Structure 1
Amino acid sequence: MSGNYLNKTKRGFTIVELLVVLSVIALLLSIVTPRYLNKIEEGKEIALRQNLSVIRKSIDQYYSDQGEYPDKLTQLVEKHYLRVIPLDPIAEKNEWDIVKEKQIGGIYDIKSTSQQMGSDNRVYSEW
């Protein structure tokens, strides 16, 4: 019985092997993580462009149908030009900077409330 016990060797990883594996994993994560974070920001920018386009198109359609610009964005929802006011994905709020038409009145355009810099080196509120 004691002969069998001596023939069995303990198997496992040494501390050096574990450190090598962990350092390889850390290296891979340091390469992948920045690319992942850039893709998240890129996705938010695409969503912002799309949301701006949808709201602006709805404002134009409202003006074309009604002969005047809406006084509030909620009028676009009330009159079924939009289902809901889209979210500003950069500011993460349902608030927009409103540009009023000077002569006629009403909302002529909208912009993001975010003062962060976009990938095109312009502030999001200038889009």
Structure 2
Amino acid sequence: MPMPMPSRRLRPLHRLRQTRGFTLVELLVVLAIVALLLTLAVPRYFHSIDQARETILIDNLATVRSTIDKFYGDTGRYPDSLEELVEKKYLRTLPFDPVANSSTAWVLIPPDDAGRGRVYDLRSGAGGSGRSGTPFVER
């Protein structure tokens, strides 16, 4: 007569313990691998965020400068403020400076002739320099 197979409940205790989970050494090895991967990936992530902010800043500056030129072409004068560009529907919203993290930190440059408006150009109000070494306030 064949021997009946023992049920799962009747397994010896030492076998049950071996199949329950991971050992501490296995968990430490996995955590060490994850930490190593993070030390390689995180600096690249933050570098790409800074790069994207700078790219958006350059694009926003170009867009607003072009809009100021269009306003001047239409009216024969420069706007008195950035809000005037929004009010007259030249811009949908105030431009956002992603480096300074504000839409009010712009440095406004007036034209040579004060009677022709107040905003000839604008620059970022953020401190520091970009990838090329050019300070943000000089862009």
Q: Secondary structure at the match of 1:110?
A: strand
Rounded Cα–Cα distance in structure 2 between residues aligned with 1:22 and 1:78: 55
- The one-letter amino acid paired with 1:33 is V
User: How do 1:1-127 and structure 2 match up within 5 A?
Assistant: 4-6=10-12, 8-10=15-17, 11=19, 12-95=21-104, 96-103=106-113, 104-127=116-139
Q: TM-score, normalised by structure 2?
A: 0.84
Rounded Cα–Cα distance in structure 1 between residues aligned with 2:117 and 2:65: 16
Q: TM-score, normalised by structure 1?
A: 0.91
Rounded Cα–Cα distance in structure 2 between residues aligned with 1:27 and 1:42: 24
Q: Secondary structure at the match of 1:62?
A: helix
Give the CA RMSD over aligned residues: 1.7
Runs of 5+ in structure 1 lacking a partner? Answer: none
Identity %: 40
Q: Size of the alignment, in residue pairs?
A: 126
Runs of 5+ in structure 2 lacking a partner? Answer: 1-5
Q: Secondary structure at the match of 2:134?
A: coil
- The one-letter amino acid paired with 1:90 is V
Rounded Cα–Cα distance in structure 2 between residues aligned with 1:94 and 1:6: 69
Rounded Cα–Cα distance in structure 1 between residues aligned with 2:111 and 2:29: 64
Deviations for 1:42-83, whole angstroms, at most 9, x for unmatched residues? 111111011111110110000011011111111111111111
